[in-house]
Chain A
Amino acid sequence: MTVHAGIDIGSRTIKLVLLEDGRISKTAVTDATYDPIAVCRDLLADVDCRAITATGYGRRLFSRGRSCNVVSEIKAVAQGARFLSAGCRAVLDVGGQDTKVVTLDSRGKLDKFLMNDRCAAGTGRFLEVMAGALSYTYEQFTAAALSATQAEKLNSMCAVFAESEVISLVAQGASREGIALGIHESVATRTLSLMKGLTLSDTIMFAGGGASNPCLRRQIEAGLGRELYVPENPRVVAALGAALCNGEKEKQNGRRQFDAASDQIVRVGGWRA
């Protein structure tokens, strides 16, 4: 029995996936807190695995002083999506801190990708902040948005400006539900415009925390005019992809040794083999 682990250290949450002989045997999602590395340590406390690959925002920090592979969350989400859906050629991932769109080629390899700009506009974090501005919990916030009949239009996509816009809309007597829907709509619009930057195939997987938001999903689907495929546990797609990358790294390392044997001189800048 071979266990491979993938850990996705995001800005908001940490996700763990264990693969046992190529099958998912465990998944976990926890808050990142102020000390994500300690959270990782706890998560892995009784995990006995052959190899681990880290991805996400904290991958480098985590890998320091540990025998662990790292992979970008872009490649990880592509790998994970492909595993869950063999024909998948495109993934939309709305995470806590960034939104990305990734395409895969016909062989399932990572092709093009786009990410949102440096600010939090259009990401999960933006939605959370706005829920707070309306004194909703996140669940109440999406439920309210779903129940609204008409959306209040939000002009600003900057989290700071949007918050004051929300406050002034409330002061003008706009309906809270309508504002909640307006906020979802503006995130959907932003996401759709990012998606327009790439040529996307028919089946698009929706991954990341954002995929569990039914209102956001509905708005994006409406904008696209087609359905998105949301896997059972959309948050762990990148962690799953990272776990899958372990096998690949082993293959690559094998190849590397082979190279070293066949060429007399193989010099490695920095990490002399």
Chain B
Amino acid sequence: MAEDYTRMWTDLGLDLKAHDALLGVLGPLYEKTFMQQTDRPEGMKYFDFVMSEVHGLRIKELMDAKAAGRKVFGSFCVFVPEELILAVDGILVGLCAGAEFAPDEAEKLLPRNTCALIKGAFGFAVARVCPYLAAADVVVGENTCDGKKKSYEIFRDLVNDLYVMDLPQVKSEAGRELLRHECKRFAARVEEVSGRTIEVDALKKAIDTVNAKRSAMHRLAKLRAAEPAPISGLDALLANQVFFYDDPERFTKSVNAICDELESRTKKGEGVAQKGTPRILVSGCPMAVPNWKLPSIIESSGAVIVGEESCVGERGTRHLTGVEGNSVDALMDNIVDRYFKIDCAVFTPNPSRLDHIREMARDYKADGVIQYSIQFCSPYQIESGPVERALERDGIPVLRVDTDYSQQDSEQIRTRVEAFVERLQD
């Protein structure tokens, strides 16, 4: 390690021993999952670096920013409007919860049949191993699925300051009104915490910054439509994951640099997989760092992933926020419009998600869709049935995979994935 961050971690109140144990697992897992891939774009070196410094340099940046008076917000959901936070010069980081840590401790607070993502968040918090959580001045929760909204009642005691956004569950006028009200209430909180007011120019600039990072992801997504696929699904997923905690401008630049590289690859007809390799769209629950289990099984079973219909993926990044308007109110309307379009399965009904999956499958020339659900996640598990039937009716093969963060079922999943790939090859 380039620098010794022990002091910083101690100051953040981390449990150093447990934290070492976490890093001791993460490093080798990253090596095994990412570094053994061949033909990776040069630009992925940036993400390798970010990952190697995920608890180091990036945290130091956050601490320096805090020392300069900026506020750090943490969130678990793509409904939290980053634009409002950037408008007061704050920083938003996604809290990952993509691994099981201290499950026994988590299960002292939660029932066993809670989804792995929520349990993971609790495990990280109780074991004091997440520097992002520790660095966050405010953790923003949101009333989405039952699991999360009830868990926040308990989570409150584990973090510095928990703020919970209420969210609609129906895409009606009343739902939109609720979202508008909640965005305004959140804006007020952001202003209060930062001691600044949201000004038109700053908000415009914030919208531009966030849009730019989303646009870079759109560019990356489109390039993956090429045959052969120019980048592995694992690497693209990593970019989607880093989206949540990197400095936005630096992130945008890095993704665009990769896109330049992929463009020239595609022109030369080069890719990471042989032509004719079955192309898969992954759809469903979010995959937070370091949840790479399913994608790495898929890509070592002779297929390549060409898109993620997920909150860590296109569901989270697809819409831009409108920039028209010359008042904070007008811009706020644009924000509400933009976030109201997110087709999370907590909404009922949620037909636009199916449309989006179809659209992605077509645009990225997917041969099949793998629906990923985290066990005990009712919204996505229940939705996966009708989605599967609809897609199969359209002639798009679907495989459903319900799993959690443990590795025990890897071989069983591999068998299913291999059989699915064989089905696509037939």
Contacts and interface: CB of A to CB of B under 8 A. Distances in A.
14 contacts: A72-B422, A74-B415, A74-B418, A110-B419, A118-B409, A263-B269, A263-B275, A264-B269, A265-B270, A266-B274, A267-B271, A269-B38, A269-B39, A269-B273
A265 B268 contact: yes
Contact of A267 (B232, B274, B409, B426): B274
A73 B275 contact: no
Interface of A: 57, 71-75, 98, 109-113, 115, 118, 252, 256, 259, 263-270, 272-273
A269 B418 CA distance: 17
Nearest to A245: B422
A98 B412 contact: yes
Nearest to A268: B274
A73 B274 contact: no
Contact of B232 (A74, A259, A269): A269
Contacts of A263: 269, 275
Nearest to B406: A118
Contact of A75 (B270, B272, B422): B422
Given A74-B415, A269-B273, A269-B277, 18 more contacts: A72-B416, A72-B418, A72-B419, A73-B415, A74-B419, A110-B422, A110-B423, A112-B392, A115-B412, A115-B415, A115-B416, A118-B412, A265-B269, A266-B274, A267-B272, A267-B274, A268-B273, A269-B39
A170 to B, nearest CB: 31
Q: Chain B binding site: helix, strand, loop or mixed by DSSP?
A: loop
Contacts of B3: none
Contacts, number: 71
A264 B275 CA distance: 12
A228 B269 CA distance: 51
B299 to A, nearest CB: 8
Contacts of B426: 109-110
A266 B419 contact: no
Given A267-B39, A269-B38, A269-B274, A111 B412 contact: no
Given A98-B412, A265-B269, A269-B232, A113 B419 contact: yes
Nearest to B422: A75
A270 B37 contact: yes
Interface of B: 37-39, 228, 232, 268-277, 304, 392, 408-409, 411-412, 415-416, 418-419, 422-423, 425-426
Nearest to A97: B412
B419 A75 contact: yes
B226 to A, nearest CB: 12
A143 B415 CA distance: 34
Contacts of B277: 269
Contacts of A270: 37-38
A210 to B, nearest CB: 18
B163 to A, nearest CB: 38
A269 B37 contact: yes
Contacts of A267: 39, 228, 270-274
Given A57-B411, A111-B423, A115-B412, A266 B275 contact: yes
Contacts of A74: 415-416, 418-419, 422
A110 B412 CA distance: 18
B124 to A, nearest CB: 25
A71 B422 contact: yes
A269 B38 CA distance: 6
A196 to B, nearest CB: 13
Contacts of A98: 412
B307 to A, nearest CB: 18
